Amino acid sequence: MNNRWLRDTIRNLEPYAVPVVRESIVINANESPYNIFDFPAVRAEFFSRLRSLASNRYPDPMAQELCAVLAAYAGAAPDQILAGNGGDEIIGLVLHTFVNPGDDVLIHSPTFDVYGIVAASLGANVCAVPDDHDFQRNADVFRKTVHAMQPKVTFICNPNNPTGHLWPLEDIAAIAAASDNPVVVDEAYVEFSGQDSAVSLLKKHDNLIIIRTLSKAFGLAGFRIGYAVAGKRVINALTLTKEAYNLNSVSQLMGIVAVGHSEEILRQTVPTVVANRTYLTAELNRLEGIRAYDSAANFILVKVPDGPAVTAALKRADICARVYGDGVLADCIRISVTTREVAELLITVFSGGKHYA
């Protein structure tokens, strides 16, 4: 293999490393603690319909039944939805649809790595507006940057991963209004935010593209179901670059069944996670030297005096968390919020309890 075989724009890319998880308490990827098959009604309906699934037939290329239930759930029309193989696929589709090499793509920083990685691999010029102190994003500064730069695509992660920071919808609307180009609002965690979705802004701002997923609040990360909500013409444009059969029939079926039971699923998962988030944030902030940032998502970013020591202590306690090495996130650890028992264990570890050397 000769390195010069690689496309110019990916020669300097590092592989997106997902570490092997050896610990038994896994809180590094913001997954739900609930398995969808623990909901008896979901389980029964899924397996009953799976029995008659035609394995020899290609899936519906436009996932129409799934888009119809997602539309009802998200408060949009079915032709305003595009279903994909996880939200990650939708991020890629947006960039492949709109970005030429050399175009500016704007993000805020720190945020979800995928926007910058895919944009760079397409030869885009990735520009970042850094957060203010304590990972607060400044909507005014961001809006003015969008207005002056007119990036080809702007990404907003709301609530932001990994900081948990939430921008109110007025700020999103003002940023959308400042741009003549597509503005993406990644709402992977919106169900935990207590705030309405930016879908309600689509009527007035036809450059908005909202990305959602069933990986987080619905506990379906393994099934890879994400979707875009946007104006009909934007949805048609995104379809230009999509693989014909991007979402397999088993995942389509699971999406249809799960979203059909959304009330029951979310009633069990969201309030518990939100209550544990409030509890854990308050308890961690009582500890000397530790700062847990307010979060509107199902995770908390925690800054500690000695990142490597806490990381080692978490490992000894059989916990896998997301650790950040350098830059503004040095000594920061992102923990997914799950059950009360895990919250109690985390408090022990962060307080230098028996697992903390």
Ligand X SMILES: *Cc1c(COP(=O)(O)O)cnc(C)c1O
Residues binding ligand X (CB under 6 A): 30, 86-88, 112, 157, 161, 186, 188, 213, 215-216, 221, 226
Selection from 350, 344, 319, 332 nearest residue 162 by Cα? 332
Shortest separation between residue 245's beta carbon and ligand X, angstroms: 18
Compute the distance between CA of residue 353 and CA of residue 81 in angstroms, rounded to an integer.
48
Cβ–Cβ under 8 Å, residues 107 and 116 = yes
- What angle (nearest 5°) sits at the alpha carbon of residue 182, between those of residues 110 and 85? 70
Shortest separation between residue 54's beta carbon and ligand X, angstroms: 26
Percentages (nearest 5) of helix, strand, coil residues in the chain: 45, 15, 40
Closest CB to ligand X among residues 177, 250: 250
Closest CB to ligand X among residues 321, 349: 321
Shortest separation between residue 351's beta carbon and ligand X, angstroms: 28
Compute the distance between CA of residue 134 and CA of residue 294 in angstroms, rounded to an integer.
10
- Token pair in block for residue 333: 């650890």
* Closest residue to ligand X: CB criterion: 86
Closest CB to ligand X among residues 156, 202: 156
Shortest separation between residue 139's beta carbon and ligand X, angstroms: 18
Between 262-285 and 249-260, two packed helices, what is the crossing angle to 10 degrees?
80
Shortest separation between residue 48's beta carbon and ligand X, angstroms: 26
Shortest separation between residue 88's beta carbon and ligand X, angstroms: 4
- Token pair in block for residue 108: 């805020």
Cβ–Cβ under 8 Å, residues 152 and 123 = no
Shortest separation between residue 251's beta carbon and ligand X, angstroms: 11
Closest CB to ligand X among residues 59, 87: 87
Shortest separation between residue 154's beta carbon and ligand X, angstroms: 15
C-alpha of 166 from chain center? 13
Selection from 297, 349, 307 nearest residue 327 by Cα? 307
Closest CB to ligand X among residues 302, 313: 302
Largest CA distance in the chain: 60
Closest CB to ligand X among residues 98, 192: 192
**Exposure string (b/e) for 96-120, b if CB count within 10 Å is 16 or more?**
ebbbeeebbbbbbbbbbebbbbbbb
Q: Phi and psi of 330, rounded to 5°?
A: -55, 140
Amino acid type, 263? E
Closest CB to ligand X among residues 114, 343: 114
Closest CB to ligand X among residues 171, 186: 186
